Amino acid sequence: MDVNEHVRFLFEKYLRKECSAEEFEEMMTWLVAMDEGEKNKLSEPLKELWDKAAADKLPSTAEQVDWDGVLSKVLNADEPTVENPVDIHLPARIGWKRVAVAVVILGLIISGSILLLNRKIPVEIVKQEKPVRHLPEEIHSKGNQAILTLSNGSVIVLDSTKNGVITRQGNVKITKLDSGQLAYSSQSSNGTASSEISYNTISTPRAAQYQVILSDGTKVWLNAASSLRYPTSFSGQDRKVELTGEGYFEVTKNKDKPFHVRVGAIEVEVLGTHFNIMAYDDEAAIQTTLLEGSVKVNYNSQSEMLKPGKQASLSRTDNKMTTGDANVQQVVAWKNGYFYFDKSDVKTIMRQVSRWYDLDIVYESSAPDMKFSGKIERSLPLSGISHLLESGQIHFRIEGKNCIMMK
């Protein structure tokens, strides 16, 4: 399903009163993020839905919002006050004006799809020229890319390697699957396994991610600018790997061999579970979030047992570990192909932009004191994020690898 079909699908669900809060927020994010060309492509299907709704030909539309009344109230209000200063640029086509403006305004008032918090200032809705864009035509992520470093030091660039068996190390076969995943499978020789332990490292650059299936069946997703060091096969009494950056783990259960993830001085111990570790050097804390099962997080003399939905956070400032509730959907959004911002400040957003679009962030002045919420597909080009920020009058330009936040 392409973007236009997806928004149409969500919009129709909304008119039938079947749209969940999450789907409504997603629809609003898509609508606000669309550029002029995308709006024009989408206007006819939405106009068709509008006409059906106006004629009461869709189920459960009799009690829907008075779109014309809302639009009139918004455009003629003397001093409408909401929590965010947003400039709405109206295309000339009346079909989009009636639908998009009403939908966007309702979204901002009802669901807060894109919020700029801590401000209470009047909003002027006026027709005006779009600000000059300082972005190149498109900036995309690199998708599935990684480098595999074998135990002998040789390097394999996985995105340019054909699918199939890549190499063998001892009794282990390393295969690149049709899905793009890297998979390890142990093959015993004469019924015995090799006693020699060899280690591989898989590393993702900025703007890329990758998935590896370890020899015990454990699945690991690596986010951008991350690496995982692991044995080609697990022997002995436990299973140990080392992580930098961010990874999501689905650990195969084995009560006789606990699974350990080492992140600097932190060690996460599990038997079989699903969890995420975020440990980027430029973030304020190392966060371990549990989705399923149980994990024990150890740091020096501190130790915390986590239950599903909980998060252990180790502050880089004072080295103290705390636990609390986690926004699990936000934590694993990257693994599911989304940016998910929940009252996130500008610098938090731009750190993710830096890693996912391979850019260095430069501030011409201090970062604006604003917070945003929204859900955006990571498959979109950088313009998807720029639309989010521009809703708060925050602009940036691209100069080579530098993303310069403008005054």
pLDDT of residue 315: 96
Tokens 């998807």, located at residue: 384
pLDDT of residue 55: 58
Residue type, 172: V
Q: How far apart are CA 248 and CA 218, in angstroms?
A: 11
Lowest mean pLDDT among 61-65, 78-82, 174-178, 300-304: 78-82
- Residue 316, helix vs strand vs coil: coil
pLDDT of residue 30: 62
> What is the per-residue pLDDT across 5-55, written as a single tens digit (0 to 9) for each?
666 777 777 777 777 766 665 666 566 555 555 556 555 666 566 566 555
Lowest mean pLDDT among 62-76, 170-184, 185-199: 62-76
Burial 264-284 (b: 16+ CB within 10 A, else e): eebbbbbbbbbbbbbbbeeee
pLDDT of residue 311: 97
Residue among 20, 30, 25, 9 nearest 111 (CA): 25
Q: What is the β-pairing status of strands 199-203 and 219-222?
A: unpaired
- Residue 76, helix vs strand vs coil: helix
- How many other C-beta atoms can be found within 10 angstroms of the C-beta atom of residue 256? 7
Burial of 27 (0-12, 13-18, 19+ CB in 10 A): buried
Element (H, E) at 387: helix 383-390
Q: How far apart are CA 129 and CA 15, in angstroms?
A: 31
Q: How far apart are CA 218 and CA 213, in angstroms?
A: 6
Q: Report percent pLDDT > 90 for the chain.
A: 49
The reply to whether the predicted model has a pTM over 0.85 is no
Residue type, 259: F
Q: What is the β-pairing status of strands 274-279 and 285-292?
A: antiparallel
Residue among 96, 92, 1 nearest 49 (CA): 96
Cβ-contact 46, 39 below 8 angstroms: no
Q: How far apart are CA 406 and CA 366, in angstroms?
A: 10
Kindly state the average pLDDT of the residues 396-405: 91
Residue 129: DSSP 8-state: P
Element (H, E) at 398: strand 396-399
Q: How far apart are CA 331 and CA 340, in angstroms?
A: 8
Give 391 or 95, the one with higher predicted confidence.
Answer: 391
Q: How far apart are CA 225 and CA 355, in angstroms?
A: 7
Q: Could you give the dihedral angle defined by the CA atoms of residues 85, 135, 350 and 276, in that order, rounded to the nearest 10 degrees?
A: 120
Burial of 203 (0-12, 13-18, 19+ CB in 10 A): buried
Q: What is the β-pairing status of strands 227-231 and 239-250?
A: antiparallel
pLDDT of residue 282: 95
Q: How far apart are CA 226 and CA 204, in angstroms?
A: 5
Give 111 or 146, the one with higher predicted confidence.
Answer: 146
Of the ranges 112-126, 179-193, 296-310, which is most confident? 296-310
Residue 380: DSSP 8-state: S
